[in-house]
Amino acid sequence: MSEEKEVSTGGRSAADVKDAVKDRYGGIARQAMFTSSCCGPSASCGCGPSGASQASADLGYDPAELAALPPGADMGLGCGNPIALAGMKEGDVVVDLGSGAGIDCFLAARRVGRDGRVIGVDMTPEMIARAGMNAIQGGFGNVEFRLGELEDLPVEDATADWVVSNCVINLVPDKAKAFAEAYRVLKPGGRLAVSDIVLTAPLPEEVRGSVEAYTGCIAGASMKDEYLAMMSDAGFSSVEVVGESDYGEMAAAWMGEEAREIGSGVKSIKVVAAK
């Protein structure tokens, strides 16, 4: 486990930040047990006001594929569709970093087939429990979920053909360690496909120090150049941004209209890289 260190959230420790993230997303998982959608103001990173399925479709997911998922697997928490970036084939092993209720795991499972395997890792027990129930309900025998942190993945070396992640690494205090762990669990020649939030301009200090802004995927985001450099420093080659869009509309949906002003410096990016 990496050493706990201070992060830019008003001097809070990494442990405090992780507790806040667990509380936020554990609450979303519990709420979704009793409602048809987790969406709503301040609900999540990418969840829009029009509902989880519409929010995910707006991010590039195929509505037909979404409709075939177990109910509750799509919680509208993403900021892109990393599965669309990944050229998975039958028999591949996929590791999903921050798997939530399992949306990307289940989509990947259909691509890798019965001979493939998908491992979802999440640090929130409520999400792991919900994802496990979704796997049983959907009959996904080639998917498993493991409780763990992205800086210390419960996955053996050189396991995966693909590592994917959707709007989660921005929540990790030690992003460099998370990328190093992703590199470790990939097989030689394996690939990384990530959708995430980055910055192209510094945030105001009051936003940077906000717990709500951190758990909402904004205050913990790194500058874009720094984010890509951390991938390269972890050992990844052929690091390529294959898509980028403004996050202002999403930010305003959960944080209010005042967030639109800072949204011009907040970007949703899609990145691929290789080991």
The mean pLDDT of 199-211, rounded to a whole number, is: 82
CA–CA–CA angle 144, 146, 152 (5° rounding): 140
Element (H, E) at 207: helix 205-208
Q: Residue 129 and residue 29: Cα distance in Å, rounded?
A: 9
DSSP 261: H
Count CB neighbours of 200 within 10 A.
Answer: 14
pLDDT, tens digit (0-9, with 9 covering 90-100), for 80-119: 899 999 899 999 999 999 999 999 999 999 999 999 999 9
Between 29 and 167, the more confident residue is 167
Q: Is the pLDDT of residue 272 over 90?
A: yes
Q: Is the pLDDT of residue 179 over 90?
A: yes
Quickly count: other Cβ atoms within 10 Å of residue 189's Cβ: 8
Dist CA 114 CA 140 (whole Å): 9
Helices 175-185 and 224-233 cross at an angle (nearest 10°) of 40
Predicted structure pTM score? 0.88
Residue 161 confidence (pLDDT) above 90: yes
Contact 172, 2 (CB under 8 A): no
Which pair of structure tokens corresponds to residue 73? 């697997």
Confidence (pLDDT) at 35: 47
* 12-21, 114-123, 175-184: the lowest-pLDDT one: 12-21
Domains delineated in the chain: 14-274 (3.40.50.150)
Per-residue model confidence (pLDDT) at position 8: 46
What pLDDT, on the 0 to 100 scale, is given for residue 182? 98
